[in-house]
Homo-oligomer: A and B are copies of this chain.
Amino acid sequence: MEKKKNISMAVIKRLPKYYRYLSDLLKNDVDRISSKELGEKIGFTASQIRQDLNCFGDFGQQGYGYNVRELHAQISNILGIHKKYKSIIVGAGNIGQALANYSNFRDLGVEAVGIFDANPKLIGMKIRDIEIRDIDEFPEYVKNNCVDIGIICVPSRNAQTVCDELTACGIKAIWNFAPIDLTTPDDVVVENVHLSESLLTLVYLANQKHQ
C-alpha cells in the first residue's frame, strides 16, 4: 500500500470517524458508497474525503465509489485495529473504574489486563474479573506482562510520576485522563482526554451563541 509521509494530525484524527461510519454501514449491509454519500453522512465534502483517504493509499474507483467492506478493512489495518493490545489502568477512581467496565474498547482490540490504585479500600476489589492491585506493583506487572498502553486516571498531582514510571518500564503509548500535560521521552505517544477542557469549551460556545 502506497502511503504518504507526514500525514497531518487533522487527517489522523478523522480516521477513527471514518472507521466508525464504515462500521455502521457494514452493520447495515451497505456494499458500496460514493465519496459524496459518505461525505453527507459524516458531514464532510466529497473532496475532503477523497483527499483524506488518498493520504493512505489508492482507495475507491471512479464511477463506483468505495467498496465498504474493503475500505473498512483497510482503515482498520491503517489504524492498527487488527492487532491486540494490552493496557493497564493506573487510578481506580471514577473514571478509571468506568474505563475498566467499558466493553467497547475490547472490540477495538484494547484489553484492560490490570488496574492499580493507592487507596487500600480499593485494593482487592474486583472490576469485571480484574482485581485492583496496589499501585506500587504496576512497574513489575508491566515488565512481566508485555503491556502496550498505560491509561492514567490518577489525580493530576501524581500523573507525571505515574507517567515517568510507565515509560521507564517501556510503555510507549499513554492515554491520559489527568488534567495536565505530561512530559515524555520522544518515542512515547500521548493522547489526552481532558474532560474539564471539553466542558469549558461547551460552556464558552453556549455563552457565545446565546448572549
A: residues with CB less than 8 A from B are 12-13, 15-17, 19-20, 42-43, 78-81, 83, 85, 94-95, 97-99, 101-102, 104-105, 108-110, 148-149, 172-175, 179, 181, 187, 189, 191, 193-207, 209-210
**Cross-chain contact A203 with B94 (CB below 8 angstroms):** no
Considering the complex, give the chain B residue whose CB is closest to the CB of A179: B20
**Cross-chain contact B105 with A201 (CB below 8 angstroms):** no
Q: Which of A43, A99, A199, A210 has the most chain B CB atoms inside 10 A of its CB? A: A199
**Cross-chain contact B95 with A203 (CB below 8 angstroms):** no
- A199 contacts which chain B residues (CB < 8 A)? 105, 108, 110, 175, 191
**Cross-chain contact A203 with B80 (CB below 8 angstroms):** yes
A172 touches which of B99, B200, B210 (Cβ 8 Å): B210
Considering the complex, give the chain B residue whose CB is closest to the CB of A153: B98
A191 touches which of B94, B175, B198 (Cβ 8 Å): B198
Q: List 14 A-B contacts (CB under 8 A).
A: A12-B201, A16-B204, A20-B197, A79-B204, A80-B203, A81-B200, A94-B97, A99-B195, A105-B199, A108-B199, A149-B202, A149-B203, A174-B202, A193-B195
Considering the complex, give the chain B residue whose CB is closest to the CB of A20: B179
- A78 contacts which chain B residues (CB < 8 A)? 204
Q: Which of A94, A191, A200 has the most chain B CB atoms inside 10 A of its CB? A: A200
A203 touches which of B109, B200, B205, B206 (Cβ 8 Å): B109
- Nearest CB of chain B from residue A13's CB, rounded to whole Å: 6
**Complex Cα distance A6/B12, Å?**
26
